Structures are given as structure tokens and as C-alpha cells.
A and B are shown apart, each in its own frame.
Chain A
Amino acid sequence: MIKLKLEALGHPTPSDVALSNRKEFASTILWIEDQKIRLYSIEDREKLRHIDNPKSWEEGYLKYCADLQMPPLESQQEQMAWILSHAVRLEFLDDPEQFASINSKTGPPKSNGKQAPVKVQSIFDGKMNVQDKAFVDGVRQLASKLNVPHHPNHLLQLEAVARVVHERLSPAAKGRQPIVGTPFPFDKGNDIISANDPALDLPMRILRLLQIQSLRQLQTHINETIVAVQNLTANPKTDTKLGKVGR
């Protein structure tokens, strides 16, 4: 978030500011005051310029925080986040008109799972109204028949349905050999996740299992590729005449 805010303010190198480094932290604060906030007159910023003199700079910084009326915050990270938000707010208020055209409708798609419906939508693009009540009802019915849990977004739910069909009901899945061997109880591994918080423990384990499953698929695919190549290249040879037992 700090990186995004720095970027929005036009910081020259937003991605490599190491805030844990005292010097970098100090120079970033100075940059924000110099370029954006401009709370003080140029002469009054003198103390904030003493980046190489930690004691004097700290003094100036404490006063600066007080003058900005920053609420008491503990870590420098939080302080930086607050100052950046303050700077962004000032920047916005300078000329609100400039940003009027940007709103949630035209902004870039958010990444929190909204990409899936886009995919579903594109399949039905123009052929069907995916928001139609009959369509939504159809999805809900299908989901309840296949025991797919409810999700407020019916398109996401449709995607889950598609996955179940692909994994369990498709011709390829039906022809697949059932997995043999003793199942590994997933709470018997040596991994410690969150022993004293069951609410966190279980979902974490499930997510990790899903991750392991997709890794396994990838690794199996790699192995199959290697075997395919081996069919072309392999030619193991031995020659017992070469062998020699040592002393």
C-alpha cells in the first residue's frame, strides 16, 4: 500500500524504498514535505534536512508529526502510511475536478476474485444475458444438486460448478483410475499451522492441500514430459569389460 501511495504521489523510485533503513525513511519524509505537503516554509524545514545527524533529525521529525496533528501511532511504518495518506488527500483537494472522471465504474478491475466472472461472461458474451433471472435460478439449482456451497455472486458459483463437473463427471474423469493406497490424514503431517486457533487452522490446511494438489499435477506433467523425451533419447549401456575392482 505504501508503495502504491508513493507511486500515486510520483515518487521517483517507489518500489525500492527500504523503510527499515533509518536514512531512507528520513529522506522519504523530507521528500514528501518538500514536494507535496509543504507544511513549513523552506527555512523551517532545516532540521528535517539533517538526515545524517540522527539526533537532530529525530527532534525535527517529532515536532513535524505534532504540527501535522498526527494521531499517536506506534511503528514508523504506520506513521509513514498516515503521512502518505495525508499527502494524497492534500493532493486530491488541490484540484478535485481533475480526478472527477475516475470512479469505481471506469477504474481498472479490482483483483479480488472479480476476474472469474469476466471469464464466464466472455463465454456467454452476447449470446445470453448472464444477469437474467432465469439464468441465475438455473445456476443456483445446478449448484444445489451438485452440493456446491452458496456464493452471492452466481457467476463465481457457476465456475465452481464447472470445476466439479470437470473433476468428477467429465468422460475423462470417469475413465480415470481410482487413487489406490492408504489415504494420508491431512492433520497427521508434521506441519504446525495454528494449533491454538482452530478457526484458522482448518482453512489453512485445506488451502495448503489445494496448493499441494496443483503442485502434484504440475510435477506429474513434468515427469510425463521427461518420459516422452526419454523415449527419443534413452539408450543406457553397460560394458562389464570396463569394470575394475580396486584395492
Chain B
Amino acid sequence: MVVRSYNDELKYLEKVSDHCWRIKKGFQPNMNVEGCFYVNSRLERLMLEELKNSCRPGAVGGFLPGVKQIANVAALPGIVGRSIGLPDIHSGYGFAIGNMAAFDMDDPLSVVSPGGVGFDINCGVRLLRTNLYEKDVQPVKEQLAQSLFDHIPVGVGSKGIIPMNARDLEEALEMGMDWSLREGYVWAEDKEHCEEYGRMLNADPAKVSMRAKKRGLPQLGTLGAGNHYAEIQVVDEIYDKWSASKMGIEEKGQVVVMIHSGSRGFGHQVATDALVQMEKAMKRDKIETNDRQLACARINSVEGQDYLKAMAAAANFAWVNRSSMTFLTRQAFAKMFNTTPDDLDMHVIYDVSHNIAKVENHMVDGKERKLLVHRKGSTRAFPPHHPLIPVDYQLTGQPVLVGGTMGTCSYVLTGTEQGMKETFGSTCHGAGRALSRAKSRRNIDYKEVLEKLDQIGIAIRVASPKLVMEEAPESYKDVTDVVDTCHAAGISKKCIKLRPIAVIKG
């Protein structure tokens, strides 16, 4: 590790435009490419403060600052283009959350890193629309929140209400959303409106440890804890009328349901198992990284391939999980309003993954290249006419679902050509932490948090009230700052703003 003063560190950073900074080579050792990050003035201050704090003498422990992590990723073998930090970036294990990086599949030295995907593999957001309006839901929102809470178990150690045995799980891991379709939990149109059509074809349940399967089995159809939630939201603002109408959003006040969840303990175990294998592979193949947390293996090595197959299985698990919760949400709404989900027009608008690595083709230096794109806390945002987005969104660009924090707002964006060129078709994923979990616990009182939500008229159901301060809006960056930065930088375009009226949380 190089030790430099804050002012010396700043020499390696350069503001190239109002919303983009360049990280020059040399900021961290052995950088193969440059780094960059997108911020506005407020987020910029947070970013640089974090760096400044880490430069103070005697600062040890905790994660490296986000800028340093971006630069360390830029030093991984086989990386192409730039190591990119999105506006919601904050430090994480190895890779910062909100860092995306692409590796050349044709370079035998290129690596895949579980830290670049995250522990909650295929954590993502799904948005369901309804034909209800705020006035229909306001009078019954407490009951509706309770009904959702009864249908979708939440919290650490929760168990789902969809009966599954070991064989069902094996099939679900291999088939992803096709399993949910076969069993009749979801609609054919749901698959159409899901990233990757809800199934990674290279999934191999045989590459997943027994332990992961045991952890995963009872958890299908549960929301989990942490920042996961299901929210009933209303359309607060429409910025792009035509794109919104393509998504079936016609007017302000329309009610939608947002589900933010991932692969639960299953994905966590897959990632943990892979890290152990990869440390061995690194020693064998003599792969050197700047940070021990950046454990990785060559894409073509046994460990690399095993991880990609197990990760795909975990991704499928997450899709089945979100699909199961879609089913349960539809049930809850249908019971409440005494009608059918069909009559409520409860279609999936889209389903995005923001913790995943995928093989994609991109233009690099004017040539088409096959890349392994790591997106950790970063959402795919493909432009109009991209062959991998659903036919309904060919004219608008891919919908990007950005979940806010409890009690604040969420956004729907669309992908742009510029994002395709600058960030390999990637954009932000949410608010991004500003305070660590421990700090939030120390500084914020949970009763205050709940009272505040009550005051602004949000119904809330939580499994563990004592943990809500970790998720208080004060612990996060302002999602509006994050989204505005992406919009201003042109890497995605604002379409719809949503505000919550009921939240259920782990």
C-alpha cells in the first residue's frame, strides 16, 4: 500500500465534466486501465470526504474508501475500458457497491471475481403495476400492508409458504423462472418482462454445495432482511409520458408494487464457497491483486467456471424467489379487492438484477468484443433497439428500476445510447449507503424512525423494529441526487418517480 497525503492523492483525480471524475493510473499500484466515477456536487463531497478520512494518520480498519476500491478493480487482469463507479457507490467487500467492470472473454488471463457480484447474488428489483389509484388504496392500506406481511414472510430466518422439496429446488435452480411458469405461479408475460427472461442457461445445480441448498430450501418466497422490502407505491411524477405509457403507467396516483429481494442465504453461501476455492486458485495461477478481498479466478479455470455455473443457479433462485413473491402479492391484492389479479392488471413492468456477472457483447475501441460484465450495485440499462430487451421496450430503452430507501422515493429510468458507450450499458441501483450499519445503529433511534414514517402517512410492517435504524433514510445518500446525476450524465433517462404508501421489511 502506498501511503500518501490527501493532497497528493488528489493529484491522481481529475474532474472531466460536471458529473464525471477520472482516476488516473498510479492512484493504486498496477492499474491496467483508468477508473472513473459519476457524482454531482453533493455526492462528490461525500466521496472525497471518505478518501480524506482514510488518509488521516492512524486510520485503519473497515473497508477501503470507494475511490480506492475502483482503482484496485482497475488493476485486475483482463479488465477493459474503465473501472466505473456509479453515483450511489459506497465501500463493499472487495469491489465497492456501485462499481461495474468488464473483462475480455478472449483474454486467457481475464478473471471473474465473486466480490464483483456481491454476496446477495442477483439481488434485484421488480415492479408490478395495477389499475388501482391512490384513492382506492388509501382507505385500506393498513389492511393491505398486513395482508402482504401475512403472505410474504420477512426477516432473518423467515420461511416461505410455498411448499418445496429438495427435488423442486434442484429443478428451480436449473430452470429459474421457467420453473415458476411450469408450476403456474406466474404469467407468461412476466417472463417476457424480466432481464435474461428470468433464466440463466448455464446454471448447474451440481456446482452448488449441499450447505447452500439446505440454507436456500425453506427460504424461497421470503423477502429477507437488510435493505430488502416490498412497497406499495404511487406514481408521483411522470417525466417521460410516452415511455411511461409503454410501461402501462398512464397517470399520477396510479398504484404499483415494488419488490426488492435477492437469493437469500443461498446466494450468500455460493459466494462464500467460491471465495475459498478462489484463494487456492490464485495461489496456483499466481494471480496478484491489490486487495485480499478481490479474490478471483481466471474465467476459463475450473474454479472460474464452477463459480459462474453456481452463480447462475443462485441467480435462478432469486428469480424464482421474486416470482413467488409476485404470486403472493397478486393473491393478497385479489383477496383484498375481491377480484382477480387479471382484472387488477397486475403485470410485471420489469425485473432488474443489480448484483450479477453476465456475458455480453460490447463495442470496445470500435470493435465488438465478448465481455464478462460484473455489475455490483449497478443496474443494466440497455438502449432502445438492443436485441436483449423485450419487444415492448424497443422504442423506449430498457426500464431501470431504482429503489430508494424506506420512506423516500423510488425511480424508473430508461437506458440510453450514451450509457451503452460510456458505462457498458450500466447505471445506478439505489440510494447507496452514506453511514455504515454500525454507525446508523449508534446514531439513530428506531422509535424516531417509525414515528417519522407514521407522520408522513406510510403504513409499515417490520419483523425486527430494532434494525430499522440501519435502513433509515439518514443512513443513505439521497436517491434523487443519485438519479439526477445519472440523468444529467446521460447514462440513463428519468421516466417515473414513485413514492411509498406502505412498506413491509425484514
A residues with a Cβ closer than 8 A to B are 20, 182, 184-186, 188-192, 208, 212, 215-216, 219, 222-224, 226-227, 229-230, 233-240, 242-247
From residue A245, how far is it (CB to closest CB) to chain B in Å? 5
B160 within 8 A of partner (CB): yes
Q: For B416, give its contact among A190, A236, A242 (CB under 8 Å).
A: A190
**Bound CA–CA A226/B184 (angstroms):** 10
B residues with a Cβ closer than 8 A to A are 149-150, 153-163, 181-185, 188-189, 191-192, 218, 222, 225, 240, 242-243, 245-246, 250, 327-328, 331, 367, 383-385, 390-392, 394-397, 414, 416-417, 463-464, 493, 506
Q: Which residues of A contact B155 (CB under 8 A)?
A: 245-247
Question: Is there contact, CB below 8 Å, between B183 and A243?
Answer: no
**Bound CA–CA A207/B391 (angstroms):** 15
Question: Is there contact, CB below 8 Å, between A186 and B395?
Answer: yes
Q: Would you give 20 A-B contacts (Cβ < 8 Å), ordered by A? A: A188-B242, A189-B384, A191-B397, A192-B417, A222-B188, A223-B192, A226-B181, A226-B191, A230-B188, A233-B182, A233-B183, A234-B182, A234-B183, A234-B184, A236-B327, A242-B161, A243-B161, A245-B154, A245-B463, A246-B222
Q: Which residues of A contact B243 (CB under 8 A)?
A: 189-190
Question: Is there contact, CB below 8 Å, between A246 and B163?
Answer: no
**Bound CA–CA A234/B182 (angstroms):** 6
Known: A244-B158, A246-B463, A246-B464. A226 touches B188 (CB 8 A): yes
**Bound CA–CA A224/B390 (angstroms):** 16
Q: For B246, give its contact among A184, A216, A246 (CB under 8 Å).
A: A184
Closest to A241 in B: B161
DSSP majority for the A interface? loop
Closest 5 CB pairs of A and B: A234-B184, A246-B155, A189-B395, A191-B384, A246-B158
Q: For B184, give its contact among A185, A189, A224, A236 (CB under 8 Å).
A: A236
Q: Which residues of A contact B182 (CB under 8 A)?
A: 229-230, 233-234
Q: Which residues of A contact B391 (CB under 8 A)?
A: 212, 215-216, 219
Closest to B149 in A: A245
Q: For B157, give its contact among A216, A235, A246 (CB under 8 Å).
A: A246
Closest to A182 in B: B245
Closest to A230 in B: B184
Closest to B224 in A: A246
Question: Is there contact, CB below 8 Å, between A245 and B158?
Answer: yes
From residue A222, how far is it (CB to closest CB) to chain B in Å? 8
Q: Which residues of A contact B417 (CB under 8 A)?
A: 192
In this complex, which of A230, A240, A245, A247 has the most chain B Cβ atoms within 10 angstroms of its Cβ?
A245
Q: Which residues of A contact B384 (CB under 8 A)?
A: 189-191
Q: Which residues of B contact A246 (CB under 8 A)?
A: 153-158, 222, 225, 463-464, 506
**Bound CA–CA A238/B185 (angstroms):** 10
Q: For A219, give its contact among B158, B192, B240, B242 (CB under 8 Å).
A: B192
**Bound CA–CA A223/B328 (angstroms):** 22
